[in-house]
Chains A and B, each alone.
Chain A
Amino acid sequence: KKAQSTLMSFFGKK
């Protein structure tokens, strides 16, 4: 079973 990551764990805010 795989879990979905979110973009927030990869990209910082501008």
Chain B
Amino acid sequence: MLEGKFEEASLLKKIVEAMKDCVSSCNFNCTENGISVQAVDNSRVLLISLLIEKDTFEEYRCDRNITLGIGLGSFSKIIGNGANSDYLTIQAEDDADTLGIIFEDKVKDKISEYNLKLLDIDADLLEVDAMETDATITLPSADFAKICKDMKTLSESLQITVTKDSAKFQSAGEIGSGSVVIKPKTDIDHPEESITISLDKPIDLSFGSKYLSDIIKATSLSQKVTIKLTEDSPGVFEYKLPSGYLRFYLAPKFDE
């Protein structure tokens, strides 16, 4: 049996909101250590890797490994019925064909219960764990979201170049071109505003703006985003959870 209680429904709401426009359904793999998901979008360009560690939960138990096939649109509708501050418990028997979702209002004496029908999802897992990294950039997630939105107005591609002491984001299209350069900065009073860049090899990569638009839907999950880049390889965009992460692997664009 699986039972996981979130201190606040808002966390699961944000996670599902960040995923549902990229993949319509996916398997939630539940073990005694927590819940993980790997899912690829229809075009096979963007991969989502989610880990919600056991410590994220107020209470967690999973006696036997369970795979829950979940339609994210339906899941999102049901979780949307709870208030952000409610306790949210997900519950499934070992051979369940539904997932129980329970909201508890912390002030009123009110409990709401829903059942979501589970799906049979046949999906291949990809071996993404052994990736090398040539450059790592950490910056405020809101800044990254703004850069992606601003550059998308110019072009369907965003070029990222990284050198020893700066990262440059640039786009060029029919109406013109633009660029944003960021440099490392340590802000002791506001550590969430700090920017770090570490580099083994210079980077010049281009990514599809529409996929970046999907990625930045995770912005509310974390004040920071870490971008790991390797020449001629997918980029990794990581939003840390209180205990775990939501990562996106995005295949690059190439010169034809």
| Residues of A that sit less than 8 Å from B by CB | 1-14
Interface residues of B (CB under 8 A from A): 40, 43-47, 124-128, 157, 206, 208, 233-234, 249, 251-256
Query: B124 and A2: CB pair below 8 A?
Result: no
Chain B residues in 8 Å Cβ range of A8 = 44, 126
Task: Say whether, besides A2-B206, A7-B45, A8-B44, A13 and B126 are in contact (CB < 8 Å).
Answer: yes
By a CB distance below 8 angstroms, the chain A residues around B157 are: 2
Q: How many A-B residue pairs have CB under 8 A?
A: 56
- With the chains together, A7 CA to B253 CA distance in Å? 11
Nearest Cβ on chain B to A13's Cβ, whole angstroms? 5
Chain A residues lying within 8 Å of B43, measured Cβ to Cβ, are: 4, 6
- Knowing A6-B45, A7-B40, the reply to whether A14 touches B126 (Cβ < 8 A) is yes
Knowing A2-B157, A2-B206 are in contact, say whether A7-B126 is a contact too (CB < 8 A): yes
One of A1, A7, A13 near B44 (C-beta < 8 A): A7
Report whether B125 and A5 are in contact in the complex, using a CB–CB cutoff of 8 Å: no
New A-B pairs, 19, CB < 8 Å, besides A6-B43, A14-B127? A1-B256, A2-B206, A2-B253, A2-B255, A2-B256, A4-B45, A4-B253, A5-B45, A7-B45, A7-B126, A7-B234, A7-B249, A8-B126, A11-B234, A11-B249, A12-B126, A13-B127, A14-B124, A14-B126
How far apart are B210's CB and chain A's nearest CB, in angstroms?
A: 10
- Is the CB–CB distance between B254 and A3 below 8 Å? yes
Tell whether A7 pairs with B252 under 8 Å between CB atoms, given A12-B127, A13-B124, A14-B126.
no
User: A10 contacts B233, CB within 8 Å?
Assistant: yes
Q: Report yes or no: A9 in contact with B251, Cβ–Cβ below 8 A.
A: yes
Q: Known: A2-B206, A4-B208. Contact between A11 and B253, CB under 8 A?
A: no
Nearest CB of A to B67, in Å? 14
Residues of A within 8 A of B125 (CB): 13-14
A13's closest neighbor in chain B, by CB?
B124
- Give the distance to chain A from B155, nearest Cβ to Cβ, in Å: 10
The answer on a CB contact under 8 Å between A3 and B253 is yes
Task: Give the complex CA separation of A14 and B126 in angstroms.
Answer: 5
